[in-house]
Amino acid sequence: MQSGLINAIGNTPLIKLRYPSESTGCEIYGKAEFLNPGGSVKDRAAKYIILDALKNKKIEPGGLIIEGTAGNTGIGLAICGRSLGIRTHIYMPDTQSEEKKSVLRISGAKLFEIPAVPFKDPDHYVHTAERAAREAKKNEQHGVFYANQWDNLANREGHIHSTGSEIWSQTNGQIDAFICAIGTGGTITGVAEFLKSKNNNAVTAIADPMGANMYSWVKSGELSTEGSSVIEGIGQGRVTGNIADGKIDDAYRVDDQEALSCLFKLAETDGLILGGSSGINVAGAMKLARDLKKGSTIVTILCDSGFRYESKIYNRSYLQSKNLPCPDWL
Ligand code: PMP
């Protein structure tokens, strides 16, 4: 079956970020992933996961994809699925933004909101999704596929072949460093794999929010953390299948104050209205820039749009209730 939509994913512009570049003396670029059809970087993972499942006959048109997701992967799976005649069931923590929930429903997913509990709890949304996939297999004629973006290496593979190679061509191979946050780890390890295959000296780093374990894992091999973050879609506590063996050199910790201040400044100076994880990424890129030679070229990911978080990080009363920075224009 042909899907026109699948071919519209990727090939996003690389935007030079004015304020981050001017204030660090480096050239900082953001890959405009919010321009994908489903509005986020996760369209790429969804595309490669579905195509891989179809190729390996794990599902066929008429079948059902099930996934646990903070939202964006679900949106990608739902639109790619619809374009290929596959239905989507999504299990999502009930703490995520209403905007993402309504986009998921419009995109055609059946949405199950799950109370947010720690990963070790069997009722965590990821385990609930996996169980639901096992149950659904009994009644489906055309296959049920548990996407498992965390451990399914088609996710990383997608970023090797699309995001990584696009960044390499868009910078004409003149890239000194790449940094981004981790949800599943598909983006960072996929891009890192491609860049290192071309130039092993290119630096790869994680921008980690508070409450996530990836900073300490890179720095000391231990999984530990402090603090917490309100930023959605990122913040990993374990070494997923996609993170393991990733070619990651370094890590920077970014707190929500830094990320949101960076996000609002980007809106003011660059006209970019971005989601919270992009704030972690760009603030992380600025920290990394200060450790590199002036004039270095650094690339990061602009994961999704701020319009997906109008009721949260672009809402004055929400920001005030969390003691987070709020610009006077909001
Ligand atoms: N930012 C946002 C908004 C996301 O939804 C995600 C994925 N959950 C990421 C960043 C992280 O991407 P990855 O899963 O490739 O690590």
Atom of ligand 1 nearest to the CA of 185: 16
- CATH class for the region spanning 42-146: alpha beta
Ligand 1 centroid distance, CA of 186 (Å): 8
pTM of the predicted model over 0.85: yes
Query: 17 CB less than 6 Å from ligand 1?
Result: no
Specify whether 42 is catalytic. Answer: yes
Structure tokens at 158: 């997608």
Domain boundaries, the chain: 4-40+157-321, 42-146
At 65, phi and psi to the nearest 5? -105, 135
Is it true that 4-40+157-321 and 42-146 share their CATH fold?
yes
In the chain, the largest separation of any two C-alpha atoms, in whole Å, equals 60
Most informative mutation of 36, 40, 90, 151 for ligand 1 (most atoms within 8 A of CB): 40
Residues 6+ apart with CB under 8 A from 121: 127
CATH number of the 4-40+157-321 domain: 3.40.50.1100
Query: 304 CB less than 6 Å from ligand 1?
Result: yes
Going residue by residue through the chain, which has 330 residues, state the pLDDT in tens, using 9 for 90 and above: 567 999 999 999 999 999 999 999 999 999 999 999 999 999 999 999 999 999 999 999 999 999 999 889 999 999 999 999 999 999 999 998 899 999 999 999 999 999 999 999 999 999 999 999 999 999 999 999 999 999 999 999 999 999 999 999 999 999 999 999 999 999 999 999 999 999 999 999 999 999 999 999 999 999 999 999 999 999 999 999 999 999 999 999 999 999 999 999 999 999 999 999 999 999 999 999 999 999 999 999 999 999 999 999 999 999 999 999 999 999
Q: DSSP for 88-101?
A: EEEEEETTS-HHHH
Structure tokens at 27: 């050239």
Structure tokens at 4: 């026109």
